[in-house]
Amino acid sequence: MPSTKTLEILYFASLAEQAGKDAETIRFDGDTLTELYQYLHNQYGFNLATNKLAVAINHEITHWQSTIHDGDTVAFVPPCGRRLNQWQIYIKAHPPLH
């Protein structure tokens, strides 16, 4: 049974524009990145499919079936070279807290 998790979500490029923010902290009951993205897609109307995005948990690129845990930082990165470079700089400057 899924438990409620507090997650920090980072948005980049078009996802940040669609969400109207670069980051937020949410409470979420699902267990996988796919479930999380579907929830956010429904909330913000994201127009990119998961196969068009890079995703990371705690500053490490991962796959969509990865399990999320309470306190994780999740980043969704659209395919935009310049923004991806900015994201990589951000990730290096903000290491995981746990």
Please tell me the predicted confidence (pLDDT) of residue 90: 55
Return the H-helix or E-strand segment holding 13. none
Stated pTM of the model:
0.79
Kind of pairing, strands 5-11 and 73-77? parallel
CA distance 96 to 89: 14
Q: Tell whether the model's pLDDT for residue 98 goes beyond 60.
A: no
Please tell me the predicted confidence (pLDDT) of residue 9: 97
Q: What percent of the chain has pLDDT over 90?
A: 58
pLDDT digits (tens, 9 = 90+) for 5-51: 999 999 988 999 999 999 999 999 999 999 999 999 999 999 999 88
Amino acid at 71: G
Please tell me the predicted confidence (pLDDT) of residue 7: 98
